[in-house]
Amino acid sequence: MSEQTHPHIVDQKLGEDTLTTVELAHGETAKLALGSYIEGNQAVETGNGYNGDVVALFELPGTEEEPAKQIALMDFGEIDPNDPPSLLYYKGKPMTHIFGRVQSRYGLVAHNYSPSDHMRAYVPLEIGQPANVGRKTELSHDLGLDENERGTEAISRNHFSIQIGEDGEATIDDHSKNGTRVTFAESEKPAESLDDRAERLKEKLASIEEPFDPDTRANLHRYASNTLGKKEAQAAGDGQASTEFGQYAGQALLALPEEAKAVKDEYLRTLSQLEKVQTTISGSEQ
């Protein structure tokens, strides 16, 4: 990603909250320390709304006939993988049967428009994994930005990318011809320390394991740790170790009941995040 970042700051402050709007042009980068722009409980209490905080709005260029489309970056909070919350509320009631459940802490949703052929314009974001937004990316249809949608003519095929870091900071890279307008609330909370993040991830692993008996917990951990070991062996070009790790992971997976299989991916992601944080802590102590 480009480290040359000089977005133009357009305005600041709204009421008691500090809001910042930046205009990103092609090749520019913005790093956002995220606060709460629109709190989720406000949206739910007013009758309609996604079940989380809007922490940033991305405004894409519109046309003379169609207004600019806005995409919201959502923070749904820590998710219980055994009971994820409803994605959207209508008149104060969860609409799980239509819109489904939240899949990860952060996500992108259509804020001021609806796709022409489906109602749920939602894309979950995984920590550390970049997502590309535009008229012709892997997310185009889910976000209602396909080339056949009205009002997308000025939106670039790969308009911008977003990545949420381990510290919750969002990095936005603009790849567009016509730019992206970003409005966000700057967080006044102190950054989470690595030690605190490690403890939080350990607590999350424990909450995932909690419903299961000791044998299932052991197999869940064995599946995840050997799957991560397989990935490391593959990256190192060690075919024999990769095969062995894969066999151990497969055996553990076969021993898991269906309820545990339903949360294995969340457990794997959390363990992977924890190991990365612990590696960083160990490196800083040397």
Q: Which residue has the tokens 């294995």?
A: 264
Residue 270 contacts residue 190 (beta carbons within 8 Å): no
Give the pLDDT confidence of 124-172 residue by residue, as tens digits.
998 889 999 999 999 999 999 998 899 999 999 999 999 998 777 899 9
* Identity at 204, one-letter amino acid code: K
DSSP 119: S
Q: What is the pTM of this model?
A: 0.63
Burial 1-18 (b: 16+ CB within 10 A, else e): eeeebebeeeeeeeeeee
Among all chains, which residue has been given the structure tokens 């590696």?
A: 279
Phi-psi region of 163 (alpha: psi -120 to 50; beta: other; left: phi over 0): beta
pLDDT digits (tens, 9 = 90+) for 36-88: 555 555 554 444 578 888 888 999 998 888 889 999 999 887 776 777 888 88
Rounded percentage of the chain residues whose pLDDT exceeds 90 = 43
Domain regions of the chain by residue span: 8-185, 194-285
Write the pLDDT tens digit of every residue in 190-210: 556 778 878 988 998 999 999
Residue 40 confidence (pLDDT): 53
The larger pLDDT score, comparing residue 1 to residue 242, is at: 242
What's the rounded mean pLDDT across residues 263-282? Answer: 84
* CA pair distance 243, 253, nearest whole angstrom: 15
Which pLDDT belongs to residue 286?
Answer: 57
**Nearest-angstrom CA–CA distance, 120 and 55:** 19
Locus of tokens 């151990």: 248
pLDDT computed for residue 32 by the predictor: 83
CA–CA–CA angle 127, 131, 133 (5° rounding): 145
What pLDDT, on the 0 to 100 scale, is given for residue 186? Answer: 64
